[in-house]
Structures are given as structure tokens and as C-alpha cells.
Amino acid sequence: MSSESFLKEVQAIGEKFLLKLQKLPKAEPVEIVSFSVVLLFIVTVLVLTIIACSCCCCSCCGCDGRPDPRRKKSQISPAAH
């Protein structure tokens, strides 16, 4: 997928999202609840992704960006037959 088609796809999704937001005040309660649930799911996935990435970065590097000396990887040598 080229970057141009990706950007067009993201723009189309954004336009659909804005259109849905504009129609939301006139929507039925079921539509409002379902839209809220979908929005909550998307926000939850994004937050959990950010938390996972930050935990991963903090576990291999310290907060100052240097590797944690306690987490040195030991090299395993092949067993002799």
C-alpha cells in the first residue's frame, strides 16, 4: 500500500467520523450508545498500546535512556558433543 493511498484512506475515515459526529445530536439513543462504546474501545486500545510501549522501553532502558546494567544478556555457547 503506497503512502498516498494510505493517506487517502485515513482522510476518508476521518471524514466519515466527522460526519457521524455531526449527526450524533439528532441520533437515536441506541446509536449514541453504540458510537460511545466503539469510541471507548478505540481509546482503550490506544491507551493500552501506549502503556505497553512505555513499559517495554522502560524495561530494556532506564528512564535516562541508558541500558539497565542489571539486565545484561548472557551468551549461551553451544554444547560440545
Q: What is the 3-state secondary structure (H, E, C) of the chain?
A: CCHHHHHHHHHHHHHHHHHHHHHHHHCCHHHHHHHHHHHHHHHHHHHHHHHHHHHHHHHHECCCCCECHHHCCCCCCCCCC
- The mean pLDDT of the chain is 81
Which residues form the domain of 51? 28-58
Q: 47 in a domain, yes or no?
A: yes
Does residue 40 have a pLDDT over 90? yes
pLDDT digits (tens, 9 = 90+) for 42-63: 999 999 999 888 877 766 665 5
Mean pLDDT of 20-30: 88
Total domains present in the chain: 1
Q: 46 in a domain, yes or no?
A: yes
Q: 32 in a domain, yes or no?
A: yes
Q: 37 in a domain, yes or no?
A: yes
Q: 49 in a domain, yes or no?
A: yes
Q: Is the pTM of this model over 0.85?
A: no
Q: 19 in a domain, yes or no?
A: no
